[in-house]
Amino acid sequence: MRAFAHERFSERVQLTPEIVSAQARAVGDTNPVHHDAQLAAATRFGRRIASGTHTTALLLALTASHFSRSCAMVGLEFWVRFRKAILADEQITLEWLVIKVTPNARLGGDIVELRGRIRNQAGETALGAKGRVLVTDRL
């Protein structure tokens, strides 16, 4: 079980309108801006956008995927701020930075504080995030 301050991890994800629509449906998000290209074209975004639940889930899932390669991990809390719409047909970059690692004997592991973001295809921060996870040898 190890996490290190200043550790960075990231992943690129290619979104498609089909994936965006399927993910929105899977979580019960029927907002037509995720499903209806004609309606979305008339919005301020100009085309379909990804659901916040979808993009947030991708970012949070990256923490579990990263830490579970070498140890067990449990999310404790996450906070997100939506800054720009993420278009349904762009490649996004999910990024996390470990800010602080604090041993916690009561929980049997380390509390890891994270700062993250999703950058859109233009490199702009579309979503900012903070998180705390427990990294441990076993659940």
Task: Describe the strand order of the beta sheet including 91-104 as a list of residue ranges.
Answer: 8-14, 91-104, 109-119, 125-136, 72-82
Mean pLDDT of 98-115: 96
Residue-averaged pLDDT of the chain: 96
Q: Look at residue 112 in the predicted model and tell me its pLDDT.
A: 98
**Residue 90: is its pLDDT beyond 80?**
yes
Q: Look at residue 139 in the predicted model and tell me its pLDDT.
A: 84
pTM: 0.94
Q: Look at residue 138 in the predicted model and tell me its pLDDT.
A: 86
The arrangement of secondary structure in 8-15+51-136, i.e. its CATH architecture, is Roll (3.10)
Q: What is the pLDDT of residues 25-80, one digit of tens each?
A: 999 999 999 999 999 999 999 999 999 999 999 999 999 999 999 899 999 999 99
DSSP H helices, the chain, are: 17-26, 37-41, 52-67
Strands 109-119, 91-104: pairing kind: antiparallel
pLDDT band at 123 (very low <50, low <70, confident <90, very high): very high
Q: Look at residue 2 in the predicted model and tell me its pLDDT.
A: 79
The CB density around residue 14, as the number of other CB atoms within 10 Å, is 10
- Long-range contact pairs involving 106-110 (C-beta distance under 8 Å, separation at least 24): 107/134, 107/136, 108/136, 108/137, 109/1, 109/71, 109/72, 109/134, 109/135, 109/136, 109/137, 110/1, 110/3, 110/134, 110/135, 110/136
Would you list the domain boundaries of the chain?
Answer: 8-15+51-136
Q: Look at residue 1 in the predicted model and tell me its pLDDT.
A: 58
Q: Look at residue 61 in the predicted model and tell me its pLDDT.
A: 97
CA-nearest of 97, 96, 87 to 120 is 87
CA-nearest of 13, 5, 110, 135 to 62 is 13
